[in-house]
Structure 1
Amino acid sequence: MTEVPAITLNNGVRIPQLGFGVFQIPPKDTRAAVLTALETGYRHIDTAQMYGNEKEVGQAVRDSGLDRTEIFVTSKLDNDAHDPETAKAAFRRTLETLDIGHVDAFLIHWPLPKVGDFVETWLALEEMYRAGDVNAIGVSNFQVHHLRRLLDGSTIVPALNQIEIHPYLTQDELRSFGAEHDIATEAWSPIAQGLVLDDPVITSIAERLGKTPAQVTLRWHIDRGDIVFPKSVTPKRVKENFDLFDFALSEEDMAQITALNRNQRTGFDPDTFNG
């Protein structure tokens, strides 16, 4: 079985660079999809309270036959739980709902600057981390100015920042800031919900390499050093998205794909989204 490269987070925890995302997978389909992913070789599952499928993720992890230590599971705090005490209670519910012992990473899902003080929310996550119930804590959808404010008001540097990244939104400045502060970057919407798959640059590279546009795009993410988790409920696609390590992109390929940036989002803008 292919061994997925891993990244060492700023607290020494190792995280598989390729994972499986369950965003928009209905609960009824989640267990089967995650089991397929685990059978394929994925060892990193990304869920969230907001997705409504933590229970089914936990069922799949328990039913997989794999040792719990082999699987990295991430969840995220829901947007209605930013009050520090509410956040702690919400985290306890995630532990109960997943029912897999500990959580490997727990993230603030959105900064929601007009909803509450995300620094106070972060300090609640620090308490969870110090209690040993989660191996790493981080954030999602945080911009540079959000991260600066968080770093100024807290004692633990986030291990992760999960943000929208794809060839049409390369996020170079935000990735560089993360690297400067030893915050690993995770990429959601890695193929821009399919928008990039018909791009002539990507299709040309894929044709030359005998790979699909999705595989080329996901390999671009891997080679940039980001943690990436494609999502699919189709077993063939789940396996195809894992088949990334038997080919290489040249420096010219990488540069051409990166040059496609147009700062185009497929999701909400963190500077304006407030839940």
Structure 2
Amino acid sequence: MISTLLLNSIIAGFIAGSLCGCTGTICGRMRLSTIAFTMAHAALAGSALSLLLGWNYLITGMLFAVFTAIILGPLSDILRISLDTASMTLFSIYNALTFIFLIMSPGPTLSSEKVGGILWGSILAITPTYLIILITISIIYVMILQIFWGRISSILFDPRLAEAEGVNVKFYTYTLLILAGMIVVFALKITGGFLVFSLLFIPSATSIQISRSLRGMILTSSIIGGLSSTIGILMSFILNLPVGSCIVIGAATIFAATSIASSIIRSRVIEGERVEVGS
């Protein structure tokens, strides 16, 4: 019989993985991959600070991630540098802060499972409260995509054209980035801070091998993200390995299998077309 802890972990992992897969695809289409990458490490730095100060790591990590999403645009404008350059600058700063906060943390805290959970993820960290909040965020996320899909899809297709049509591109972009920051913070509890960005972009890369439409890619990446998390959690539970690493291995395995299958199918289609032309 499946224990309540494992069941909660599987449910939370599937939801978080699905949200990460969807978010990774959206960020990739909006060319905001580096920003999402930076937000993941901002959440990690915030979580490390929470260990030092004894605060709630979800709140601290979320503040760091949301602050990053809000500040990056104005920062790149003020400094007259590209958004990618500003993102990677903050990424370097957050990495440095993470290790500083961890080293400065009290000895008992530094040697506790909390540090391992933040860095590598832990199925033991899943609580009913965490699960309820995660489900609430997922409902809000899906509702926003459903209600404003017309405008969001136009931004994903061509931001300049969407702006010319009267869509408030900045508002929707920042809204999606803030939601992405919240998702990253909650996924961090499962995958760990060093690997959470893998769950954002490996399912997205896999979906490109399968789908051609935007809706198809978002749906496929969501399913693959959820499956990757479920496989990783089960591997971690059975083999007693870090859950974040197992999730990434699961996602990478699905990506490799999909890429090989896609290549075989394409080669057969091309070969069939050549035979038809030859005949």
Q: Answer yes or no: same fold by TM over 0.5.
A: no
The alignment's TM-score, normalised by the length of structure 2, stands at 0.26
Larger RCO of the pair (alpha carbons < 8 Å, separation 6+): 2
User: Under a length normalisation based on structure 1, what TM-score does the superposition of the two structures give?
Assistant: 0.26
Larger Rg: 2
